[in-house]
Amino acid sequence: MKVLLLVPKRYGFHQSFRETFEALGGEIHTIDYQHIMVGWKQRINTQMFRLPDKWRQKWEGYYYQDINKLYRDEYDRIQPDIVFIYNHELLVPETLAYFKRKSKIAFFLGDCPYYTPGNRHFLPLLYFADAVYTYDTFWIEQMTKMGIRNMHYLYPNTPTDSFYEKKLSDEVYQELKSEVLYVGMGYKTSWGM
């Protein structure tokens, strides 16, 4: 089974999904557009939200076209059985329809398409999916009501080469112990922020 991961390598999720598919005997290929696109394009893209929608749409047409051409070219070269996508990875519906002709499509939602859309196509892309996974049961309920099928709860494994138990001396343990541990960060779109 060949698996094409469209997952940013900077996230631990990439390692988790890679390990999972490898354990199932998969041949894994990853495309992380942020490692491939020229730096100036990325810098412009991060600032496009400041411009009127008319200009943003022109830019997206140009930028997304480059990324989606790369995706289609690599897809044709690899011929994967499964395309596994984190959020939207700047896909457009035409590219996903192209993949769907010969491959199964799955998404993992690390962000909710309602609160952190990131791409005007994010929600419509999910209708192409053979399966959509997320760790938020509320999102499953919401999107099922909207007609998105095959929604599943999934909390990915922790990457074994990045996170592991570390034995501490009793002195260090006493210094660091706590009743509450928060790991992560807050986002401007987080509830209660």
- Could you tell me the pTM of the whole model? 0.81
Domain membership flag for residue 52:
yes
Inter-residue contact 7 to 156 (CB < 8 Å): no
> Which CATH number goes with the domain that contains 88?
3.40.50.2000
Structural domains counted in the chain: 1
Let me know if residue 41 belongs to a domain. yes
pLDDT digits (tens, 9 = 90+) for 25-51: 999 999 999 888 878 888 888 888 888
pLDDT of residue 1: 96
pLDDT tens across 67-84, in order?
Answer: 999 999 999 999 999 999
Per-residue pLDDT at 192 exceeds 60: no
- Residue-number span of the structural domain to which 142 is assigned: 2-160
Handedness of CA 116, 121, 122, 124 (dihedral sign): positive
Cα–Cα distance between 67 and 159 in angstroms, integer? 28
